Amino acid sequence: MDYEILMIRPMTSKEIEAHIDQYQLEKRIVKVDFSDEKIEKALFLDIDGVIQPFSEKRFDYVENKESMDALYKSLEEQFGVDYRQFGKYDLTAAYYDWDKDAVEEIRRILDVTGAKIVVSSDWRDLYNQFALPYFFLIYDLMKYLYGYLPIYYDTNYASHRVGYEHFKTDRGRDIIKYLKVHPHIKKWVAIDDYRDMIYDIPDNFVHTYPKVTKDEADRCIQILGEK
């Protein structure tokens, strides 16, 4: 089954929903790229357990209307984006629970190596695939965003494992498939809190928990190589 480009730019929620509805009907594989640049280095980025430790600071704010109104106003003034259109739990998770030190380690990897982000996290799901670029914008990470791992819309999901039966994780398999349709990517690393990925991609995997550390970021840089 061939890959199809869903989008090469952040879209409005209505545009996203129209595309998703069509792809669900046709049971097609979706490849999400935000750029047609032929990048040579990719950082496959998980979020939970990498830049979001398992904290719940957001719950101190998310049900407080005054706090949320102040947050919406502040973000719109800074970025010119109406963040009310996004799920408030996801927005507050990104704003309050993403760890700033961990984000800076990811930024350091990208700046030192010249790599771009391919999101492998479950945050690339149906609705967050629209919102996530704007969550990255809060941390000045949108400029590094290249795309998402393939997203599958097929009730017979197991059929996509054909030829990848030895893979222990779907995410490891998806990364290998992504690389096959992006042959210009020569160096890459996957950073994730899911330890079992080491069986699928042992030479290109860095495990983190509960967030990325300096040593783990250094390992990513070592795999990718400096500019």
In the 8-state DSSP scheme, what is residue 168?
S
Tally of CB atoms within 10 A around 166: 9
Average pLDDT, the chain: 84
Residue 158: the pLDDT is: 47
Give percent of the chain above pLDDT 70. 77
Q: pTM, whole model, 2 decimals? A: 0.85
Q: Which residue has the higher pLDDT, 58 or 161?
A: 58
Judging by DSSP bridges, how do beta strands 3-5 and 116-119 pair with one another? unpaired
Tally of CB atoms within 10 A around 184: 10
Tokens (6 digits) for 106: 């990811």
Whether 167 has a pLDDT exceeding 70, the answer reads no
Q: Which residue has the higher pLDDT, 222 or 9?
A: 222
Tokens (6 digits) for 7: 């989008």
CATH number for the domain whose boundaries are 3-55+99-224: 3.40.50
Sketch the domain layout of the chain as residue ranges: 3-55+99-224, 56-97
